[in-house]
């Protein structure tokens, strides 16, 4: 008799009130699929209380998210069918008569395994439908009325009424495991606020200037291989301040989560979040006309970054300290599927170094000239042992060459010339070359301190380079054994130039210190110069410039470990405010001899 049940459910077995005894495995699996379809069609019936009385909601256990169906509740029919066929048998293949007889005499009502509930999606669905009937508790907090920390008010707490959903997953699992339609009951539950007025009163004495001092948010930007920094100033912190409780029950000052995350999303995430990019490479002749280095995707983690920021406030409260002021943004990385080294035969596969400069607040013609040069330089290949020349690749400086008139430094004058603004290019190339550990063969600093070329970290002059046809030129030597590729980008949103050298690393490392100003020179009294170039009485003035002596150290660590240090010392002369005024008709004719282009030369000095 036992052999008849080798692949069948033993007699006398029911799932809840549904008999399944004697069913063969294939039949019971099909039966469970039919029953599952019925449970899905019946939906989850939810009876809930509101201020207007009891209401009923039916939730169908399939939720569509962005066009994709997601099962809120799932019954694994294969697992459940196996379970039923094995039930009551000590050996699946050898079923004896005693097992069958016992099953007849002692019928069983069992519950099925293999029920899974998507708790996150179920919770989202319930919240969407029930939130309108809930009153969330409100914690007491503090509101600062002014910069004076003694001027504050305590905002009152309020008890809430929310639905208790903690037992719903068990109720759903229990009903489906018995193949019964789900009937759920949820009740409003009075909920106390986390923080009450007495908690706030207890912590008010900890209010201090140190508590609300600024917090810096730092991001190691992989695109430019440099840090970016944002600041949460005192005003923001005051506006976001609230009283919180830790998991240990300690009362602390923290920052409102919604306000901080909105700031992170609106201000920072737009500059951090990037999609992964696959590599592309195409050459025409000796120039790379289509290139995209592979780049991993990056996404700012709002929740984790908020927690890191908020922890600083907790630490300041608990330890009366403002030492913790910097937070590293928390990000999530996604790799690209096609790497740079997979798409070219020149060995170009990774970033060797990046240079950045700021061209913000530039006039229109200057921006157009910079954009023209950026386009000309993009895709340049530099052979092993070849010297790169800025002028070679950006000429001709004519209208036909794509350039417009813009201001350049000429002696004591700043006057328009075709191609003005190209020193922004040279400065960015200089920084790119140093960060890539290239050998600098020709660099000259500007005659004047120009804000566009100041160091992007400390704002001091010193890391600039000037070009002017036919000289000076900015040059560097590719002293690696591999091709290098120059990629130029003009980020109009950030108003930055970002130049990158791609190649194959031989192990060298390049870096430079942020410049130090050893001495500032006053610009002296303003002066007026008469000229025939303006109409009589017409006046045009240029700003005054402080002079400075500055220096920084460029360090190359070569593949053999040998370290080379070069000190670049730069002198910038002071220039008073100079006004050019058209000669009056009765004025005696006179002229001022041209002084020529006077950017002062600062040759590198080798040091140990």
Stretch (H or E) spanning 542 = strand 539-542
Give the C-alpha separation, 249 to 42, whole Å: 44
Query: How many residues are there in the chain?
Result: 608
Share of residues in the chain with pLDDT > 70 (%):
90
Tokens read off for 309: 């920021």
- Mean pLDDT, rounded, for 185-195: 91
**Torsion angle of the four alpha carbons 154, 155, 156, 159, in this order, in degrees rounded to the nearest 10:** -130
Would you state the pLDDT for residue 245?
Answer: 95
| 475-477 vs 387-389, strand pairing mode | antiparallel
Does the domain at residues 208-334 carry the CATH identifier 3.30.1360? no
Burial (CB count within 10 angstroms: exposed 0-12, middle 13-18, buried 19+), residue 449: buried
| 251-255 vs 241-245, strand pairing mode | antiparallel
- Mean pLDDT, rounded, for 371-386: 93
Give the C-alpha separation, 471 to 598, whole Å: 11
DSSP, res 588: P
Give the C-alpha separation, 399 to 197, whole Å: 72
Residue 342: asked if its preceding bond is cis (omega within 30°), the reply is no
Q: 295, 304, 296: which is closest to 329 by C-alpha?
A: 304
- Mean pLDDT, rounded, for 177-200: 91
- Mean pLDDT, rounded, for 496-525: 94
C-beta of residue 432 within 8 angstroms of C-beta of residue 224: no
Whether residue 281 is predicted with pLDDT greater than 70 in this model: the reply is: yes
Whether residue 599 is predicted with pLDDT greater than 60 in this model: the reply is: no
Most confident of 138-142, 185-189, 323-327: 138-142
Residue 65 phi, psi dihedral angles, 5° rounding: -120, 115
DSSP, res 452: G
Would you state the pLDDT for residue 390?
Answer: 97
Would you state the pLDDT for residue 457?
Answer: 85
Whether residue 278 is predicted with pLDDT greater than 80 in this model: the reply is: no
The confidence band for 324, taking pLDDT boundaries of 50, 70 and 90, is low
Whether residue 565 is predicted with pLDDT greater than 90 in this model: the reply is: yes
**CA 264, chain centre distance (Å):** 9
Residues 6 or more apart in contact with residue 536 via CB below 8 angstroms: 582, 583, 584, 585
Would you state the pLDDT for residue 191?
Answer: 93
Residue 396: asked if its preceding bond is cis (omega within 30°), the reply is yes
Whether residue 566 is predicted with pLDDT greater than 50 in this model: the reply is: yes
Q: Note the pLDDT tens digit of each residue in 58-68.
A: 988 887 776 77
pTM value is 0.56
Burial (CB count within 10 angstroms: exposed 0-12, middle 13-18, buried 19+), residue 208: middle
Give the C-alpha separation, 370 to 491, whole Å: 12
The confidence band for 574, taking pLDDT boundaries of 50, 70 and 90, is very high
Q: Note the pLDDT tens digit of each residue in 226-241.
A: 788 999 999 999 999 9
Tokens read off for 31: 């039966």
Most confident of 76-85, 218-227, 280-289: 76-85
Tokens read off for 278: 């696959």
Tokens read off for 257: 């989560």
- Mean pLDDT, rounded, for 173-181: 91
Burial (CB count within 10 angstroms: exposed 0-12, middle 13-18, buried 19+), residue 370: buried
Give the C-alpha separation, 127 to 556, whole Å: 59
Give the C-alpha separation, 374 to 368, whole Å: 10
SS (H, E, C) 64-122: EECCEEEECEEECHHHHHHHHHHCCCCCCCCCCHHHHHHHHHCCEEECCCCEEECHHHH
Q: What is the mean pLDDT of the chain?
A: 86
Flag the least confident range among 322-326, 331-335, 388-392. Answer: 322-326
Whether residue 478 is predicted with pLDDT greater than 80 in this model: the reply is: yes
Residue 472: asked if its preceding bond is cis (omega within 30°), the reply is yes
Q: Note the pLDDT tens digit of each residue in 72-110.
A: 899 999 999 999 888 877 665 555 666 667 767 788 888
Residue with the bigger pLDDT between 603 and 542: it is 542
Would you state the pLDDT for residue 408?
Answer: 55
The confidence band for 596, taking pLDDT boundaries of 50, 70 and 90, is very low
Give the C-alpha separation, 232 to 213, whole Å: 9
Helices (H), 149-256: 168-177, 197-203, 234-240
SS (H, E, C) 297-340: EEEECHHHHHHHHHHHHHHHHHHCCCCCCEEECCEEEECCCCCH
Give the C-alpha separation, 373 to 390, whole Å: 10
Residues 6 or more apart in contact with residue 171 via CB below 8 angstroms: 182, 184
Would you state the pLDDT for residue 586?
Answer: 63
Whether residue 293 is predicted with pLDDT greater than 60 in this model: the reply is: yes
Tokens read off for 487: 């990629």
- Residue 68, Cβ neighbours under 10 Å: how many? 7
Would you state the pLDDT for residue 602?
Answer: 34
Task: List the domain boundaries for the chain.
Answer: 2-136+164-187, 208-334, 346-590+603-607
Q: 594, 507, 502, 597: which is closest to 559 by C-alpha?
A: 507
Most confident of 71-75, 121-125, 266-270: 266-270
Residue 231 phi, psi dihedral angles, 5° rounding: -125, 130
Three-state SS for 413? strand
Give the C-alpha separation, 608 to 605, whole Å: 10
Whether residue 369 is predicted with pLDDT greater than 60 in this model: the reply is: yes
How many CA atoms lie less than 13 Å away from 281 in the CB half-sphere? 20
Q: Note the pLDDT tens digit of each residue in 338-362.
A: 778 777 888 898 999 999 999 998 8
Whether residue 594 is predicted with pLDDT greater than 70 in this model: the reply is: no
Three-state SS for 31? helix
Helix%, strand%, coil% for the chain, nearest 5:
25, 35, 40
Tokens read off for 371: 């954009």
Q: 329, 331, 270: which is closest to 296 by C-alpha?
A: 331
The confidence band for 253, taking pLDDT boundaries of 50, 70 and 90, is very high
């Amino acid at each position: 008799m036992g052999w008849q049940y080798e692949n069948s459910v033993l007699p006398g077995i029911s799932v809840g009130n549904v008999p399944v005894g004697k069913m063969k495995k294939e039949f019971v699996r099909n039966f469970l699929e039919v029953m599952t379809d019925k449970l899905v069609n019946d939906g989850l019936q939810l009876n809930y209380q509101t201020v207007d009385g009891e209401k009923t909601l039916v939730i169908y256990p399939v939720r569509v998210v962005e066009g994709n169906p997601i099962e809120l509740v799932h019954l694994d029919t294969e697992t459940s069918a196996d379970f039923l066929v094995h039930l009551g048998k000590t050996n699946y293949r050898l079923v004896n008569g005693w097992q069958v007889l016992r099953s007849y005499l002692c019928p069983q009502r069992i519950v099925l395994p293999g029920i899974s509930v998507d708790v996150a999606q179920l919770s989202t669905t319930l919240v969407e439908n029930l939130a309108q009937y809930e009153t969330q508790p409100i914690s007491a907090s503090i509101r600062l009325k002014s910069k004076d920390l003694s001027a504050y008010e305590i905002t009152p707490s309020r008890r809430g009424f929310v639905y208790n959903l903690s037992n719903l997953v068990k109720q759903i699992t229990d009903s489906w495991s018995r193949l019964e339609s789900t009937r759920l009951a949820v009740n409003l539950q009075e909920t106390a606020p986390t923080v009450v007025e007495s908690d706030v009163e207890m912590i008010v004495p900890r209010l201090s200037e140190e508590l609300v001092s600024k917090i810096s948010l730092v991001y190691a930007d992989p695109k430019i291989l440099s840090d970016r920094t944002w600041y949460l100033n005192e005003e923001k912190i005051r506006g976001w301040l609230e009283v919180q409780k830790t998991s240990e029950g300690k009362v602390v000052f923290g920052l409102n989560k919604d306000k901080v995350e909105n700031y992170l999303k609106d201000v920072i995430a737009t500059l951090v979040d990037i999609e992964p990019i696959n590599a592309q490479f195409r050459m025409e002749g000796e120039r790379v006309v289509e290139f995209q280095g592979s780049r991993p995707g990056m996404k700012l983690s709002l929740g984790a970054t908020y927690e890191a920021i908020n922890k600083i406030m907790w630490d300041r409260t608990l330890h009366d300290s403002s030492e913790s002021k910097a937070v590293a943004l928390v990000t999530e990385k996604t790799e690209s599927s096609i790497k740079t080294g997979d798409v070219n035969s020149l060995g170009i596969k990774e970033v060797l170094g990046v240079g950045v400069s700021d061209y913000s607040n530039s006039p229109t013609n200057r921006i157009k000239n910079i954009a023209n040069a950026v386009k000309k330089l993009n895709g340049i290949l530099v052979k092993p042992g070849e010297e790169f020349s800025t002028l070679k690749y950006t000429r001709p400086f004519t209208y036909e060459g794509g350039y417009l008139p813009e201001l350049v430094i000429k002696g004591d004058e700043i006057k328009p010339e075709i191609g003005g603004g190209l020193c922004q290019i040279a400065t960015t190339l200089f920084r790119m070359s140093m960060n890539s550990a290239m050998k600098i063969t020709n660099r000259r600093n500007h005659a004047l301190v120009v804000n566009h070329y100041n160091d992007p970290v400390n704002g001091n002059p010193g890391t600039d380079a000037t070009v002017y046809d036919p000289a000076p030129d900015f040059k560097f030597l590719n002293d690696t054994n591999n091709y290098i590729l120059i990629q130029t980008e003009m980020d109009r949103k950030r108003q930055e130039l970002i130049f990158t050298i791609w190649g194959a690393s031989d192990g060298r490392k390049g870096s430079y210190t942020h410049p130090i100003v050893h001495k500032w020179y006053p610009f002296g009294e303003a002066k007026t110069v008469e000229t025939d170039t303006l109409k009589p009485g017409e006046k045009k003035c240029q700003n005054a410039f402080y002079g400075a002596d500055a220096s920084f150290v460029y360090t190359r660590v070569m593949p053999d470990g040998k370290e080379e240090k070069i000190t670049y010392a730069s002198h910038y002369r002071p220039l008073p405010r100079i006004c050019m005024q058209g000669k009056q008709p009765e004025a005696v004719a006179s002229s001022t001899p041209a002084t020529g282009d006077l950017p002062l030369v600062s040759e590198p000095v080798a040091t140990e």
